[in-house]
Amino acid sequence: MDKKELRRIIRERKAVYSQAELFDMSDSLCESIVMDGAWRAAGVVLLYYAMPDEVSTEILIRRAEMMSKTILLPVVVGDDLELRVYEGRDSLAVGSYGIMEPTGSVFPESEYHKIDLAIVPGMAYDDFGHRLGRGKGYYDRLLPRLVNAMKIGVCFPFQRMDEIPCEPHDVKVDEVVSR
């Protein structure tokens, strides 16, 4: 099965669930991440603001704030993701694809080595850490630059696949949380 067909299948699976059901599943997944030792040890975390059909990370953002972690969120700039420091809900604006994006200061690429943990969305993941994105390559270009970060992929249980087609440039995540 090719990536395009796999994306179609995942979209069909997502359509079965209501927004409320997806949000409830998100809460459970986020609680699993909070219990992970990598989360507790991380000082600088890269999160994302979810699209309506993705695992919501709002709980993680709130928890990270309470723990005084430095929170980074991506902003779509052309063909790349620029990382910005999250400075609270008031510093968010609707950006590309209707996603809430931070308007705070840019986190310089020269500092990417300080990112301890990256929570990465995906259309699907397999048990080997291979990720299927939405096809634009944003995370494919970002992940290789996060040399010291523990990369945790998050997806709903129905997005977990036995095998995902991968290419040489694809970067695997270190762990997948889907339950």
Q: What three-state secondary structure class fits 6?
A: helix
Sign, CA torsion 138/41/32/105: negative
H or E segment to which residue 33 belongs: helix 19-35
Alpha-carbon span 79 to 94, nearest angstrom: 18
The residue type at 149:
A
Domain span including residue 54? 3-177
Q: In angstroms, rounded to a whole number, what is the distance separating the alpha carbons of residues 65 and 70?
A: 8
The residue type of 153 is G
The domain tally of the chain equals 1
Residue with token string 């968010």 = 92
pLDDT digits (tens, 9 = 90+) for 102-123: 998 999 999 999 999 999 999 9
Q: Where residue 24 sits, what CATH number does that domain have?
A: 3.40.50.10420
DSSP state of 51: P
Determine the Cα–Cα distance for residues 84 and 103; give it in Å rounded to an integer: 7
pLDDT at 76: 92
pLDDT in tens, 46-59: 999 999 899 999 99
- CA dist., res. 132 & res. 123, Å (int): 5
pLDDT for residue 19? 92
What pLDDT is stored for residue 179 in this prediction?
82
pLDDT value at residue 171: 87
Tell me the sheet residues that pair with 144.
Answer: none
Please report which residue ranges of 50-169 form alpha helices under DSSP H.
Answer: 58-66, 138-142
